[in-house]
Amino acid sequence: MDRPNWAPEGVDLHQPSIARVYDYFLGGSHNVAADRQLGEFMLTTEPQFPQLVRANREFLVRAVRLLVAQGVRQFVDIGSGIPTFNNTHEVAQNAAPDARVVYVDVDPVAVAHSREILAGNDRVAVIQADVRDPDKILSDPALRALIDLSEPVGVLLLGLLHYIPDSAQPGGIVGRLRDATAPGSFLVLSHSSWSTAIPDMAQMQDKYNTEVGAELTPRSRDEIVALFDGYELVEPGVVEYPDWRPHDDTVAIAPGGILTFYVAVGRKPG
Ligand code: SAM
Protein backbone atom coordinates (compact mmCIF):
# COMPACT_ATOMS: atom_id res chain seq x y z
CA MET A 1 0.00 0.00 0.00
CA ASP A 2 1.29 3.47 -0.86
CA ARG A 3 1.67 5.60 2.25
CA PRO A 4 -0.52 8.72 1.90
CA ASN A 5 1.51 11.89 2.39
CA TRP A 6 -0.59 12.82 5.45
CA ALA A 7 0.34 9.64 7.38
CA PRO A 8 3.44 10.10 9.56
CA GLU A 9 6.10 7.35 9.42
CA GLY A 10 5.40 4.68 12.01
CA VAL A 11 1.59 4.84 11.71
CA ASP A 12 0.33 1.31 11.00
CA LEU A 13 -2.10 1.72 8.13
CA HIS A 14 -3.22 -1.92 8.32
CA GLN A 15 -4.79 -1.29 11.72
CA PRO A 16 -7.82 1.01 11.85
CA SER A 17 -7.67 3.94 14.28
CA ILE A 18 -10.38 5.61 16.33
CA ALA A 19 -9.64 8.99 14.75
CA ARG A 20 -9.55 7.72 11.14
CA VAL A 21 -12.77 5.67 11.41
CA TYR A 22 -14.45 8.79 12.82
CA ASP A 23 -13.00 10.83 9.95
CA TYR A 24 -14.52 8.30 7.54
CA PHE A 25 -17.97 8.73 9.08
CA LEU A 26 -17.58 12.52 8.85
CA GLY A 27 -16.76 12.29 5.15
CA GLY A 28 -13.11 13.34 5.67
CA SER A 29 -10.13 12.30 3.55
CA HIS A 30 -7.74 11.02 6.25
CA ASN A 31 -8.71 7.35 6.31
CA VAL A 32 -7.50 4.17 4.57
CA ALA A 33 -9.05 0.85 3.53
CA ALA A 34 -8.74 -0.70 7.02
CA ASP A 35 -10.67 2.23 8.54
CA ARG A 36 -13.35 2.13 5.87
CA GLN A 37 -13.85 -1.65 6.21
CA LEU A 38 -14.38 -1.37 9.95
CA GLY A 39 -16.64 1.65 9.40
CA GLU A 40 -18.76 -0.23 6.90
CA PHE A 41 -19.12 -3.14 9.34
CA MET A 42 -20.24 -0.71 12.05
CA LEU A 43 -22.86 0.73 9.70
CA THR A 44 -24.48 -2.68 9.37
CA THR A 45 -25.26 -2.47 13.12
CA GLU A 46 -25.97 1.26 13.45
CA PRO A 47 -26.72 2.86 10.07
CA GLN A 48 -27.00 6.29 11.70
CA PHE A 49 -23.29 6.66 12.59
CA PRO A 50 -22.74 9.40 9.97
CA GLN A 51 -25.70 11.39 11.30
CA LEU A 52 -24.60 10.82 14.89
CA VAL A 53 -21.07 12.09 14.30
CA ARG A 54 -22.35 15.10 12.35
CA ALA A 55 -24.72 15.80 15.22
CA ASN A 56 -21.76 15.66 17.59
CA ARG A 57 -19.91 18.29 15.53
CA GLU A 58 -23.03 20.45 15.35
CA PHE A 59 -23.27 20.31 19.15
CA LEU A 60 -19.62 21.45 19.31
CA VAL A 61 -20.50 24.52 17.22
CA ARG A 62 -23.42 25.54 19.40
CA ALA A 63 -21.62 24.86 22.67
CA VAL A 64 -18.50 26.83 21.66
CA ARG A 65 -20.65 29.78 20.50
CA LEU A 66 -22.51 29.67 23.80
CA LEU A 67 -19.23 29.78 25.75
CA VAL A 68 -17.90 32.68 23.66
CA ALA A 69 -21.16 34.53 24.37
CA GLN A 70 -20.48 33.89 28.06
CA GLY A 71 -17.10 35.59 27.72
CA VAL A 72 -14.85 32.52 27.42
CA ARG A 73 -11.82 33.20 25.23
CA GLN A 74 -9.70 30.09 25.83
CA PHE A 75 -10.47 26.49 24.96
CA VAL A 76 -8.80 23.12 25.51
CA ASP A 77 -10.25 20.51 23.15
CA ILE A 78 -9.11 17.02 24.23
CA GLY A 79 -9.62 14.07 21.89
CA SER A 80 -10.07 16.71 19.21
CA GLY A 81 -9.72 14.31 16.27
CA ILE A 82 -8.63 14.88 12.69
CA PRO A 83 -9.72 18.39 11.65
CA THR A 84 -12.49 18.28 9.07
CA PHE A 85 -14.99 21.12 9.34
CA ASN A 86 -16.36 23.27 12.14
CA ASN A 87 -13.19 22.87 14.14
CA THR A 88 -13.13 24.51 17.55
CA HIS A 89 -10.69 27.30 16.62
CA GLU A 90 -12.75 28.23 13.53
CA VAL A 91 -15.97 28.46 15.52
CA ALA A 92 -14.37 30.29 18.46
CA GLN A 93 -12.24 32.69 16.40
CA ASN A 94 -15.13 33.49 14.04
CA ALA A 95 -17.09 34.63 17.07
CA ALA A 96 -14.12 36.16 18.92
CA PRO A 97 -10.90 36.63 16.92
CA ASP A 98 -8.80 36.81 20.09
CA ALA A 99 -9.90 33.31 21.25
CA ARG A 100 -7.10 30.80 21.94
CA VAL A 101 -7.45 27.06 21.41
CA VAL A 102 -5.27 24.10 22.40
CA TYR A 103 -5.99 20.80 20.68
CA VAL A 104 -4.97 17.52 22.33
CA ASP A 105 -5.13 14.03 20.82
CA VAL A 106 -3.18 10.77 21.11
CA ASP A 107 -3.53 9.94 17.44
CA PRO A 108 -0.47 10.84 15.33
CA VAL A 109 -2.52 11.52 12.19
CA ALA A 110 -4.87 13.83 14.10
CA VAL A 111 -1.89 15.71 15.56
CA ALA A 112 0.05 15.93 12.28
CA HIS A 113 -2.94 17.20 10.30
CA SER A 114 -3.89 19.67 13.02
CA ARG A 115 -0.32 21.05 13.01
CA GLU A 116 -0.39 21.36 9.24
CA ILE A 117 -3.62 23.32 8.97
CA LEU A 118 -2.82 25.45 12.00
CA ALA A 119 0.64 26.55 10.92
CA GLY A 120 0.72 30.33 11.10
CA ASN A 121 -2.15 30.65 13.59
CA ASP A 122 -0.34 31.80 16.72
CA ARG A 123 -3.46 31.56 18.87
CA VAL A 124 -3.74 27.78 18.42
CA ALA A 125 -1.47 24.94 19.61
CA VAL A 126 -1.54 21.16 19.24
CA ILE A 127 -0.32 18.66 21.82
CA GLN A 128 0.02 14.89 21.41
CA ALA A 129 -1.05 13.48 24.78
CA ASP A 130 -3.35 11.04 26.53
CA VAL A 131 -6.31 12.37 28.52
CA ARG A 132 -5.48 9.76 31.16
CA ASP A 133 -2.62 12.04 32.22
CA PRO A 134 -4.37 15.41 32.67
CA ASP A 135 -1.48 16.87 34.67
CA LYS A 136 0.88 16.31 31.76
CA ILE A 137 -1.56 18.13 29.46
CA LEU A 138 -2.08 21.00 31.90
CA SER A 139 1.64 21.52 32.44
CA ASP A 140 2.63 21.31 28.78
CA PRO A 141 4.56 24.47 27.85
CA ALA A 142 2.53 24.85 24.63
CA LEU A 143 -0.68 24.93 26.67
CA ARG A 144 0.76 27.27 29.27
CA ALA A 145 1.89 29.68 26.55
CA LEU A 146 -1.73 30.16 25.39
CA ILE A 147 -3.99 29.28 28.30
CA ASP A 148 -4.15 31.26 31.54
CA LEU A 149 -5.56 28.80 34.06
CA SER A 150 -6.52 31.65 36.41
CA GLU A 151 -9.11 32.75 33.80
CA PRO A 152 -12.18 30.73 32.67
CA VAL A 153 -11.45 27.95 30.19
CA GLY A 154 -13.81 25.88 28.04
CA VAL A 155 -12.74 22.24 28.29
CA LEU A 156 -14.15 20.06 25.50
CA LEU A 157 -14.33 16.29 25.90
CA LEU A 158 -16.42 15.35 22.89
CA GLY A 159 -16.83 11.72 21.94
CA LEU A 160 -13.85 10.88 24.15
CA LEU A 161 -14.69 9.47 27.56
CA HIS A 162 -16.42 6.35 26.19
CA TYR A 163 -12.86 5.29 25.32
CA ILE A 164 -11.87 5.53 28.97
CA PRO A 165 -12.88 2.46 30.98
CA ASP A 166 -13.98 2.71 34.60
CA SER A 167 -10.60 1.29 35.68
CA ALA A 168 -8.96 4.49 34.36
CA GLN A 169 -11.38 6.58 36.46
CA PRO A 170 -12.91 9.04 33.99
CA GLY A 171 -14.53 10.87 36.90
CA GLY A 172 -11.08 11.45 38.40
CA ILE A 173 -9.77 12.79 35.09
CA VAL A 174 -12.67 15.24 34.78
CA GLY A 175 -12.23 16.20 38.44
CA ARG A 176 -8.58 17.04 37.88
CA LEU A 177 -9.46 19.22 34.89
CA ARG A 178 -12.22 20.90 36.92
CA ASP A 179 -9.94 21.58 39.90
CA ALA A 180 -7.17 23.00 37.69
CA THR A 181 -9.44 25.49 35.93
CA ALA A 182 -10.80 28.78 37.25
CA PRO A 183 -14.34 29.35 38.52
CA GLY A 184 -16.52 30.28 35.55
CA SER A 185 -14.85 27.58 33.42
CA PHE A 186 -17.02 25.19 31.43
CA LEU A 187 -17.03 21.48 30.64
CA VAL A 188 -18.53 20.52 27.26
CA LEU A 189 -19.15 16.80 26.99
CA SER A 190 -20.67 14.29 24.62
CA HIS A 191 -20.72 10.60 25.44
CA SER A 192 -22.29 7.62 23.75
CA SER A 193 -24.63 5.18 25.34
CA TRP A 194 -26.01 1.85 24.22
CA SER A 195 -27.18 -1.43 25.60
CA THR A 196 -24.56 -4.18 25.57
CA ALA A 197 -27.49 -6.58 25.93
CA ILE A 198 -28.16 -6.11 22.21
CA PRO A 199 -26.17 -8.98 20.60
CA ASP A 200 -25.29 -7.03 17.42
CA MET A 201 -24.01 -4.14 19.48
CA ALA A 202 -21.90 -6.38 21.71
CA GLN A 203 -20.43 -7.99 18.59
CA MET A 204 -19.66 -4.61 17.03
CA GLN A 205 -18.08 -3.39 20.24
CA ASP A 206 -15.84 -6.51 20.45
CA LYS A 207 -14.70 -6.16 16.86
CA TYR A 208 -14.05 -2.44 17.21
CA ASN A 209 -12.11 -2.91 20.46
CA THR A 210 -9.99 -5.69 18.97
CA GLU A 211 -9.23 -3.87 15.74
CA VAL A 212 -8.47 -0.38 17.06
CA GLY A 213 -7.19 -1.50 20.47
CA ALA A 214 -9.83 0.40 22.45
CA GLU A 215 -11.95 -0.37 25.49
CA LEU A 216 -15.26 1.16 24.48
CA THR A 217 -17.36 1.84 27.55
CA PRO A 218 -20.95 2.96 26.99
CA ARG A 219 -22.43 4.76 30.01
CA SER A 220 -25.95 5.39 31.22
CA ARG A 221 -27.36 8.89 31.50
CA ASP A 222 -26.92 8.74 35.30
CA GLU A 223 -23.25 7.83 34.91
CA ILE A 224 -22.79 10.72 32.49
CA VAL A 225 -24.56 13.13 34.88
CA ALA A 226 -22.08 11.99 37.56
CA LEU A 227 -19.17 13.14 35.38
CA PHE A 228 -20.44 16.70 35.97
CA ASP A 229 -19.79 16.48 39.69
CA GLY A 230 -18.78 19.97 40.88
CA TYR A 231 -20.31 21.70 37.84
CA GLU A 232 -23.68 23.41 37.49
CA LEU A 233 -25.45 21.98 34.46
CA VAL A 234 -26.46 24.56 31.87
CA GLU A 235 -30.05 24.17 30.64
CA PRO A 236 -31.34 21.69 29.47
CA GLY A 237 -28.84 19.47 31.34
CA VAL A 238 -27.72 16.05 30.14
CA VAL A 239 -29.99 15.17 27.22
CA GLU A 240 -29.93 13.21 24.01
CA TYR A 241 -28.43 15.34 21.26
CA PRO A 242 -31.64 16.34 19.42
CA ASP A 243 -33.05 17.78 22.66
CA TRP A 244 -30.11 20.13 23.38
CA ARG A 245 -31.47 23.58 22.45
CA PRO A 246 -32.89 22.39 19.11
CA HIS A 247 -32.84 24.85 16.25
CA ASP A 248 -32.76 24.97 12.47
CA ASP A 249 -29.36 23.25 12.15
CA THR A 250 -30.21 20.35 14.45
CA VAL A 251 -29.23 17.14 12.66
CA ALA A 252 -32.15 14.76 12.28
CA ILE A 253 -31.64 11.51 14.20
CA ALA A 254 -34.33 8.89 13.65
CA PRO A 255 -35.81 7.78 16.98
CA GLY A 256 -35.34 4.16 18.06
CA GLY A 257 -31.66 3.88 17.04
CA ILE A 258 -29.52 1.67 19.23
CA LEU A 259 -26.81 4.24 19.85
CA THR A 260 -27.48 7.51 21.64
CA PHE A 261 -25.25 10.53 22.15
CA TYR A 262 -25.81 12.32 25.43
CA VAL A 263 -24.56 15.90 25.42
CA ALA A 264 -24.27 18.60 28.07
CA VAL A 265 -22.48 21.75 29.20
CA GLY A 266 -21.55 22.41 32.82
CA ARG A 267 -20.20 25.57 34.50
CA LYS A 268 -17.79 25.55 37.40
CA PRO A 269 -19.46 27.78 39.98
CA GLY A 270 -17.83 30.71 41.68
N1 SAM B 1 -13.75 15.34 19.61
C2 SAM B 1 -13.93 15.09 18.18
C3 SAM B 1 -15.39 15.22 17.86
O4 SAM B 1 -16.20 15.10 18.79
O5 SAM B 1 -15.74 15.42 16.70
C6 SAM B 1 -13.38 13.72 17.77
C7 SAM B 1 -14.03 12.54 18.45
S8 SAM B 1 -13.32 10.97 17.97
C9 SAM B 1 -14.68 9.90 18.23
C10 SAM B 1 -12.37 10.56 19.43
C11 SAM B 1 -10.96 11.13 19.43
O12 SAM B 1 -10.38 10.87 20.71
C13 SAM B 1 -10.02 10.49 18.40
O14 SAM B 1 -9.38 11.49 17.65
C15 SAM B 1 -9.02 9.70 19.23
O16 SAM B 1 -7.74 9.66 18.66
C17 SAM B 1 -9.04 10.48 20.54
N18 SAM B 1 -8.66 9.69 21.72
C19 SAM B 1 -9.04 8.42 22.02
N20 SAM B 1 -8.51 8.04 23.20
C21 SAM B 1 -7.79 9.11 23.65
C22 SAM B 1 -7.02 9.35 24.82
N23 SAM B 1 -6.88 8.39 25.74
N24 SAM B 1 -6.43 10.56 24.99
C25 SAM B 1 -6.57 11.53 24.03
N26 SAM B 1 -7.28 11.36 22.89
C27 SAM B 1 -7.89 10.17 22.70
Confirm whether 63 is domain-assigned: yes
Q: Is the ipTM of this complex over 0.90?
A: yes
pLDDT 10s digits, 184-231: 999 999 999 987 778 888 899 999 999 999 999 999 999 999 999 999
Q: Which atom of ligand 1 is nearest to the CA of 80?
A: 1
Average pLDDT over residues 90-103: 98
Is 2 among the domain residues? no
Domain assignment present for 247: yes
φ and ψ of 161, to 5 deg: -70, -15
Residue 42 located in a structural domain: yes
| Nearest to 234, CA basis, from 65, 8, 108 | 65
Question: Is 6 part of a structural domain of the chain?
Answer: no
Does the pLDDT of residue 1 top 80, yes or no? no
Return the CATH number at 96.
3.40.50.150
The domain in which residue 197 lies consists of 18-267
DSSP character at residue 101: E
Q: How many domains does the chain have?
A: 1
pLDDT in tens, 115-157: 999 989 999 999 999 999 999 999 999 999 999 999 999 999 9
- Per DSSP, 181 falls in state S
Q: Is residue 4 part of a domain?
A: no
The answer as to whether 5 is a domain residue is no
pLDDT for the residue numbered 76: 98
CA distance 124 to 200: 41
pLDDT at 256 over 80: no
* Residue 73 domain flag: yes
Q: Could you report the per-residue pLDDT of 55-74, keeping only the tens digit for each? A: 999 999 999 999 999 999 99
Residues contacting ligand 1 via CB (< 6 Å) = 18-19, 22, 56-57, 78-81, 105-107, 110, 130-132, 158-160, 163
